[in-house]
């Protein structure tokens, strides 16, 4: 709980957190998945979870589908979810985006390496009916590894290596088991499944030949699948689903931008500037790049740095009431050895055909490399709109929440973090050591999007969605895709009508001039 509490207080930082391996094997499973109804500001039960009912030995939780929940543990249901999102979700500074993430996945399955163990053994839900029926359900703990005793767990925490995605194993298993991943079903009346699995999928809309690409992350593991799918995508219109994409490799974001956008074929227009707050950890980290002098670009003349000059103090900024030294602005070079020597580029010959219209669907939980990708794609010549799913929690009818989040931050090593925790915690707990199986890294760099603002980092700027869909249904995503396709057809139809009217007006003017002459 001490580790979790400390980590959550760093929600404004650009964090990477691999949980202690032993704790990461424990997950709390709730009886329901909720859906928020923005028009009535109510919460309903979207699904009862079959795995939950099979574990407790009865199907009571399956009897409340589509029922409205008014209270959770005696607290107004929406206020309960808002409090949970503010306290535990770290995906964005935007409160609507945090709630989107909570409704989609963070509430109904909680990994105990990232969320604290509840203080009681059950949870109570009150439903909207004449008698305000109240039902209490036990928490169910799913353990994904067999432990013989307590010391076995502690040894896993202290001596095992850090493992990526440990906390996602149960989530991926349950979403597939419960058939919650629409893309994984691979059958639909209106969409043809072409290829893909797990993190990246490719579908085609039957009636319009619109390409649909689901991109779950920018991680390096599925990179060849990602490149294959983007190369295979056809048609004139592309919809990219970035819901829940938490980022990954920046060079993959640059590689896709380079492939999708005509003007970004020029690296001068593609790469965006970064700078870093000068700290001892950053300078120590930056020495890696001195061994690979082709990895950092000097944006003053677009040449490659051959020394550590790019990380020397260059300018002072005051941010958050603190004045610090920052480096000059520079950019990574994806052709450099550190960043993969060009393996993220998608090669497609000289007769490349670009999509005429590109749309993105997001719930705002698009972080890090995903934010770099979307923030820059927004200004592409062939990009149309960012559609948002979720939102509507507050009285602002538009609720155009943040489309993505690129947090900056300072550098902490573990001892700094321990000291930070022990200074600000309000309980009697303390942390003495970092389990060797845990890993925590905070990004010290700031990213700039020149088209958005040359002087202020992306972290401090707004880039909201263009249109919010009145739906919070993350599990029947075809409805949202159909809405985007319908809007596209309608806007094209309006443009054709306007173009025809202009032609008629010009013809009439020419006819009048002719008759006058």
> Which pLDDT tens digit goes with each residue over 201-246?
999 999 999 999 999 999 888 899 999 999 999 999 999 999 999 8
Query: Which residue blocks in 114-213 are alpha helix, DSSP H?
Result: 150-159, 169-177, 182-185
pLDDT tens-digit profile of 333-357?
999 988 888 999 998 766 778 999 9
Identical fold for domains 1-170 and 186-469, yes or no, is: no
DSSP state of 56: H
Lowest-pLDDT choice from 62-71, 394-403, 483-492: 394-403
Inter-CA distances, 99 with 19, 35, 118, Å: 22, 11, 20
pLDDT value, residue 163: 59
Widest CA span of the chain, in angstroms?
A: 100
Lowest-pLDDT choice from 5-9, 63-67, 91-95: 5-9
What is the percent of the chain with per-residue pLDDT over 70, rounded to a whole number? 86
* Confidence grade of residue 506 (pLDDT, cut at 50, 70, 90): confident
Mean pLDDT of 419-424: 58
What gap in Å lies between CA 17 and CA 296, rounded to an integer? 26
The residue with tokens 């589509």 is: 66
pLDDT tens-digit profile of 440-450?
666 678 899 99
Q: How many residues does the chain have?
A: 517
Strands (E), 49-131: 68-72, 75-76, 109-111, 122-127
The CA radius of gyration of the chain, in Å to the nearest whole number, is 25
Mean pLDDT of 432-444: 62
pLDDT over threshold 70, residue 161: no
What gap in Å lies between CA 114 and CA 97, rounded to an integer? 18
pLDDT value, residue 271: 95
CA angle 364, 331, 273 (to 5 degrees): 60
pLDDT tens-digit profile of 302-336?
899 888 888 888 889 887 677 888 889 999 999 99
Token pair for residue 402? Answer: 């943040």
pLDDT over threshold 70, residue 188: yes
pLDDT value, residue 364: 94
* Confidence grade of residue 418 (pLDDT, cut at 50, 70, 90): low
* Confidence grade of residue 437 (pLDDT, cut at 50, 70, 90): low
Q: Looking at per-residue confidence, does 271 or 425 come out higher?
A: 271
Looking at CATH, the fold of the domain delimited by 186-469 is given as 2-enoyl-CoA Hydratase; Chain A, domain 1 (3.90.226)
Contact call for residues 442 and 411 (beta carbons, < 8 A): yes
Lowest-pLDDT choice from 12-26, 29-43, 283-297, 461-475: 12-26
Write out 252-277 in H/E/C secondary structure: HHHHHHHHHCHHHHCHHHHCCCEEEE
What gap in Å lies between CA 385 and CA 367, rounded to an integer? 18
Mean pLDDT of 152-168: 72
CA 502 to chain centroid, in Å, comes to 43
Mean pLDDT of 255-277: 93
Q: Where are the domains of the chain?
A: 1-170, 186-469
pLDDT over threshold 60, residue 434: no
Contact call for residues 356 and 393 (beta carbons, < 8 A): no
pLDDT value, residue 411: 45
* Confidence grade of residue 498 (pLDDT, cut at 50, 70, 90): low
Lowest-pLDDT choice from 40-54, 120-134, 301-315, 358-372: 301-315
Q: Are strands 357-362 and 237-241 parallel, antiparallel or unpaired?
A: parallel
Lowest-pLDDT choice from 91-95, 131-135, 425-429: 425-429
Handedness of CA 183, 401, 17, 276 (dihedral sign): positive
- Looking at every residue in the chain, the average pLDDT score rounds to 86
* Confidence grade of residue 157 (pLDDT, cut at 50, 70, 90): confident
* Confidence grade of residue 389 (pLDDT, cut at 50, 70, 90): very high
pLDDT value, residue 13: 64
Contact call for residues 363 and 338 (beta carbons, < 8 A): no
Q: Are strands 211-215 and 237-241 parallel, antiparallel or unpaired?
A: parallel
Looking at CATH, the fold of the domain delimited by 1-170 is given as Pdz3 Domain (2.30.42)
pLDDT value, residue 159: 72
């Amino acid at each position: 709980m001490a580790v979790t509490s400390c980590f959550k207080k760093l929600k404004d930082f650009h964090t990477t957190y691999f949980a202690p391996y032993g704790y990461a094997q424990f997950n709390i499973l709730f009886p329901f998945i909720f859906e928020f109804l923005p028009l009535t500001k109510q919460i309903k039960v979207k699904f009862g979870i079959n795995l939950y009912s099979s574990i407790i030995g009865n199907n009571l939780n399956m009897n409340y589908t589509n029922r409205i929940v008014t209270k959770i543990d005696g607290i107004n249901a929406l206020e309960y979810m808002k409090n949970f999102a503010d306290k535990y979700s770290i995906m964005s500074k935007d409160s609507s985006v945090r709630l989107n993430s909570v409704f989609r996945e963070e509430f109904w399955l909680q990994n105990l390496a990232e969320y604290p163990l509840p203080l009681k053994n059950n949870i109570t839900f009150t439903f909207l009916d004449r008698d305000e029926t109240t039902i209490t359900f036990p928490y169910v703990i799913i353990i994904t590894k067999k432990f013989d005793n307590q010391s076995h767990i502690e040894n896993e925490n202290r001596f095992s290596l850090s493992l990526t995605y440990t906390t996602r194993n149960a989530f991926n298993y349950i979403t597939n088991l419960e058939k919650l991943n629409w893309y994984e079903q691979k059958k639909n009346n209106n969409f043809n499944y072409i290829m893909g699995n797990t993190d990246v999928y490719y579908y085609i809309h039957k009636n319009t030949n619109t390409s649909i690409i689901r991109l779950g992350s920018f991680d390096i593991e599925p990179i060849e699948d990602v490149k294959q799918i983007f190369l295979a995508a056809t048609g004139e219109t592309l919809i990219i689903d970035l819901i829940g994409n938490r980022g990954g490799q920046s060079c993959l974001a640059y590689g896709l931008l380079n492939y999708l956008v005509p003007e970004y074929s020029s690296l001068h227009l593609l790469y965006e500037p970064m700078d870093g707050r000068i700290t001892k950890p950053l300078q120590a980290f930056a020495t890696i790049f001195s061994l690979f002098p082709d990895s950092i670009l000097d944006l003053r003349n677009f040449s490659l740095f051959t020394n550590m000059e790019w990380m020397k103090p260059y300018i002072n900024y005051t941010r958050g009431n603190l004045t610090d030294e920052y480096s000059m602005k520079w950019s990574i070079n994806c052709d450099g050895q550190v960043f993969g020597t060009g393996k993220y580029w998608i090669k497609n010959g000289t007769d490349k055909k670009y999509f005429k219209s590109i749309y993105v669907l997001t719930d705002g939980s698009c972080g890090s490399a995903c934010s770099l990708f979307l923030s820059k794609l927004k200004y592409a010549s062939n990009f149309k709109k960012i559609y948002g799913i979720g939102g509507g929690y507050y009285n602002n009818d538009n609720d155009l929440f943040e489309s993505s989040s690129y947090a900056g931050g300072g550098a902490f090593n573990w001892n700094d973090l321990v000291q930070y925790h022990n200074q600000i915690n309000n309980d009697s707990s303390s942390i003495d050591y970092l389990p060797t199986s845990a890993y925590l890294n905070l990004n010290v760099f700031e990213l700039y999007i020149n088209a958005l603002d040359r002087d202020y980092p992306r972290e401090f700027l707004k880039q909201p969605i263009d249109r919010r869909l009145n739906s919070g249904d993350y599990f029947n995503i075809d409805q949202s895709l159909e809405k985007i396709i319908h809007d596209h057809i309608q806007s094209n139809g309006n443009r054709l009508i306007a173009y025809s009217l202009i032609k008629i007006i010009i013809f009439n003017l020419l006819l009048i001039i002719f008759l006058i002459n």
